[in-house]
A = this chain, B = another copy of it.
Amino acid sequence: MGNQQFKTAVELTLKVIGGKWKPVILCHLTDGAKRFSQLRRDMPGITQKMLTQQLRELEEDGIIHRKVYSQVPPKVEYSFTEYGLTVRQLLDEMADWGTQHQQHLNQVE
């Protein structure tokens, strides 16, 4: 415990699915494949730059797949890769803890 391996493993996980936007993006992709424009509509707070940036990182980490339809106007769809599905379990557990914590906070008040 308290060892280097454990610590860096957690840090790696947070690097891949942590941060301000990635969890939110991944949540919206649990519905299935979505277009870039649809994701923008789903997340009014995010800028197009941030959305692009975060999607690219998730793609590079092998979590999501970017499917480009060669047509005009352009159409790009994002979806979980098979490998990416392994983080959904983790996201669920993080959501569970968050929900319980919210109730915990309500009790304290």
Contacts and interface: CB of A to CB of B under 8 A. Distances in A.
Contacts of A1: 27, 30-31
B27 A91 contact: no
Contact of A7 (B24, B31, B93, B102): B24
A2 B14 contact: no
Give the oligomeric copy count: 2
Given A42-B2, A100-B86, A95 B9 contact: yes
Contacts of A42: 2
14 contacts: A2-B29, A2-B31, A6-B27, A7-B23, A8-B98, A9-B98, A9-B99, A10-B24, A13-B95, A13-B97, A62-B108, A83-B104, A86-B100, A90-B93
